[in-house]
Structure 1
Amino acid sequence: MSLCGGACAVCYAVGAFFLLSLAVRVLKAVYAAYLRPAEDPKKYGAWAVVTGATDGIGLEYAKQLAAKGMNIVLISRTASKLADVKKEILAADKRDIEVKVIVEDMSGEPTEVYPRIAKQLEGLDIGVLVNNVGISYEHPEFFAALDQERIDALVRLNIVSINQMTRIVLPGMQQRKRGAIVNVSSGSGTLPTALLTAYSATKAYVDFFSRGLAVEVEKDGVFVQPHHATKCTIVQATGVRLQAYE
């Protein structure tokens, strides 16, 4: 075999290996997204806890988990909206499930908010935790123009809430050797996003926190996954709904 022929054969082999690897990754992604059978979340425990549960992604998680037969703990800051969601879930689901509501503003002082939440979750067989509560900017803005209140809220709702809720729920999951934690991140957290700088950074934290924690607790039978939302409905104070891509 000539030198050229041998080199060409090596190139063909490397190219074939690369294409095969790419095809395997694509097939795995398609299987995971569209073909893999859905798991029964009740295998993790009887209760699911959802923060930011009265609208958008959190509301849909609560409704879908209830439809799977799980008891639901709804956490949000507005009592009237929590009551409406509880009524909606119980009316839609004919199975014998329970819905518990916890009224808390998670942008408040952490040393006060989370002990109250922990007390109300005592004794529950929590199998699923959905850390959904979060906040973004009212509109794209330079970081230097943000007020301190907005910056504090971004950190408390997007980072502190996930840390604290996970600390409350995770020990029980580890003890029972089962559980699932879903942390709602954002497409904006996968790369730096100018004019959403602080928000993007907090969502990058959610992603890295989730992936690191997943490795730590895999041995305990606890599954951790970041959910990278790329489109959601924003409800403004005026009641106007806007479709937002992140």
Structure 2
Amino acid sequence: MAAVDSFQLLYREISRSCSFYFETLALVGALYTASRAVILLRDCCTLVRVHFLPRMIPSKRLSQRFGDWAVIYGGSDPVARAYAEELARHGISIIFVTQDHTSVRDTAASLSQSYGVETVVVLADFSLDQAASKPIKEAMRGKDIGFLVNCVDESGVSPRSLIEIPEQALLDSVNKNVAVATVMARLVLPGMVERCRGAVVNISSGACCRPLPGRVTLTASTIASSGRQPFSSRPSWFAPKPEVYARHAISTLGVSNRTTGYWPHTLQYGLMRCIPEWIWVLGARVLVSSS
């Protein structure tokens, strides 16, 4: 039995026998780094293509690309109102579908006076099942419907445990944010398919991106298409005014099937995807418990 009295000799012998494994690990690391670099480059190109090029390169009018009329469901929401105003600014006439005409009556009158477009307010209570569809179909008859904007109802979004929410409130949330949005799409799609143009925009919450404690109802009943973040009374880079958000989001129509609508939100979403889910959930729990 031989004894080794030199550490350098022992290290050299071990390194020689393990050099193959070191080279393999180095190759795997290089390939992984290259793949992440390609993904980052792809995401940067997508960011420019979706959010910046459409605002820099002139394109056809929205009415020529999609149609002359827009149907807005959930017009009492600030973001939906901002969408309606931005579309009206481009010469698009608006059909508001609501359960309470008082919530959109002033908005409809203001758009007509400011932009010279036609506005129609349709009362539709979807709790009456298929009866709610009849006035909507009548209002759309003979009109070139190019847009449908569904806005998720976020009433009562304060953090609450699922077991604390009444069953009827859960059913109402699913009905408003899933069933009604799907029915509205079913009403406008036949005409869009016939004319081979049109856009369906589902304005959802950023809660659909990651699980959040106390937000399970909103997350589960969110149709993901065009995401948004909460809007505060003090506009900031990540929480712009609804008008700013709508202007950016409408410029992405026809460019991307799914978009945050606002490029800082796209950066924010990209960072969120980099965080492991268990770290995200742990951090969210700490923030919710401390608030």
TM-score, L = length of structure 1? 0.75
Q: What SS does the aligned partner of 1:194 have?
A: coil
Runs of 4+ in 1 over 3 A off after TM superposition: 2-18, 37-40
* Aligned equivalents of 1:196, 1:5: Cα separation in 2: 46
Quick one: distance in 2 between partners of 1:124 and 1:233? 36
Offset of residue 35 of structure 1: 3.3
Shift of the alpha carbon at 1:28? 2.0
What is the deviation of 1:12? 4.8
2:47 maps to amino acid: A
1:41 is aligned to 62
- After TM superposition, give the deviation of residue 82 of structure 1 in Å: 2.3
Q: Is the 8 A contact 1:135 1:153 kept in 2?
A: no
Task: Confirm or deny: 8 A CA contact 1:49 1:74 kept in the other structure.
Answer: yes
- How big is the shift at 1:97? 2.0
Separation in 2, partners of 1:88, 1:50: 15
Kindly provide the CA deviation profile for residues 48-88 of structure 1, in whole angstroms up to 9, marking residues without a partner as x: 11111133111000000000111111122222332201121
Mapping of 1:59-98 within 5 angstroms?
Answer: 59-93=81-115, 96-98=116-118
CA contact (8 A) 1:56 1:233 kept: no
Aligned residues: 210
Does the residue aligned with 2:214 lie in a helix, a strand or coil?
coil
**Any unmatched runs of 5+ in structure 2?**
1-18, 234-291
Q: Which residue does 1:232 correspond to in 2?
A: 231
Change (3 A) 1:176 1:74: same
Contact 1:52–1:75 (Cα < 8 Å) also in 2 = yes
Matches within 5 A, 1:86-165: 86-93=108-115, 96-106=116-126, 108-137=127-156, 139-165=158-184
- Contact 1:186-1:229 within 8 A present in 2 as well: yes
Q: Hey, what does 1:217 align to over in structure 2?
A: none
Displacement of 1:197? 1.3
Amino acid at match of 2:177: N
Cα distance in 2, alignment partners of residues 122 and 60 from structure 1? 25
Partner of 2:48: 30
- From the two aligned structures, give the one with the greater helix fraction: 2
Q: 1:199 to 1:3 in 2, by over 3 A?
A: closer
Say what the alpha-carbon RMSD is for the aligned residues.
Answer: 2.6
Letter in 1 for 2:68: A
Q: CA, structure 1 residues 111+9, in 2 after alignment: closer, same or farther (shift >3 Å)?
A: closer
Q: Is the 8 A contact 2:152 2:205 kept in 1?
A: no
Q: In structure 1, what residue type is equivalent to 2:168?
A: E
Normalising by structure 2, report the TM-score: 0.64
1:192-223 deviation per Cα after TM superposition (whole angstroms, max 9, x unaligned): 222121221011xx12xxxxxxxxxxxxxxxx
Question: For residues 63 and 124 of structure 1, what CA distance do their matches in structure 2 show?
Answer: 19
Verify the 8 A CA contact 2:153 2:173 in the aligned structure 1.
Answer: yes
Q: Would the aligned equivalents of 1:135 and 1:157 in 2 still touch at CA under 8 Å?
A: no
The separation in 2 between residues aligned to 1:97 and 1:173, in whole angstroms, is 21
Change in 2 beyond 3 A, CA 1:17/1:153: closer
2: CA distance, partners of 1:35 / 1:44: 19
Asked whether the 8 Å contact 2:74–2:152 carries over to 1, the reply is yes
Q: Deviations over 1:102-136 (max 9, x none)?
A: 12344x23322223322322221101110115244
Is the 8 Å Cα contact of residues 135 and 158 (structure 1) preserved in structure 2? no
State the alpha-carbon separation in 1 of the partners of residues 35 and 130 from structure 2. 54
The one-letter code sitting in structure 1 at the alignment partner of 2:228 is A
C-alpha change, 1:192 and 1:114, in structure 2 (3 Å) is farther
In structure 1, how many angstroms separate the alpha carbons of the residues matched to 2:90 and 2:43?
A: 30
